[in-house]
Amino acid sequence: MSTPEARARIVDSVGQAPKVPRHCLLPACEASFDIVAVFSGVDAANGWRLLSFFGAVYLCPAHAGPCVSGRHLPSWLDRSAAVGMTGIGCACGWKWRPSAPSTMGDHRDEWVAHLADEIAALAAGEGN
């Protein structure tokens, strides 16, 4: 439990601390929030979502919707495949399998590109 005094000290130290921005997972998105301020309770990460599948990455409120709804969430395919040859899938049925041994970063880039396409398509649909 934190006392009001302890909390005030934390708030003070955060006020002096350098900001530690976390950016939206989508490369074209410039949204970010200060994770130190959020963890210390100074600021709320309103609408930001942690996507723990790729480690700790975040989606901004504008782009978290498809994941929050469960329509688009990453999952591994072929867990028994050779190292680096595991595929990645999405809750919507999208799949990607590497043609050569690949890293987690490759899988993430493919899935993020897929999510960006879906979000763009969604936005275009809303414009009609």
Q: Which stretch binds Zn ion (CB under 5 A): 6-14, 38-46, 66-74, 81-89?
A: 66-74
Amino acid at the residue 13: S
Q: What angle do CA 19, 111, 20 make, to 5 degrees?
A: 5
112 binds Zn ion (CB under 5 A): no
92 binds Zn ion (CB under 5 A): yes
* Residue 49 or 102 having the CB closest to Zn ion: 49
Sole binder of Zn ion in the list 14, 37, 51, 60 (CB under 5 A) = 60
Inter-residue contact 47 to 60 (CB < 8 Å) = yes
Q: Which residue reads 């490369």 in tokens? A: 27
Inter-residue contact 60 to 22 (CB < 8 Å) = no
* Residues engaged in binding Zn ion (CB under 5 A): 24, 26, 29, 31, 60, 63, 72, 90, 92, 94
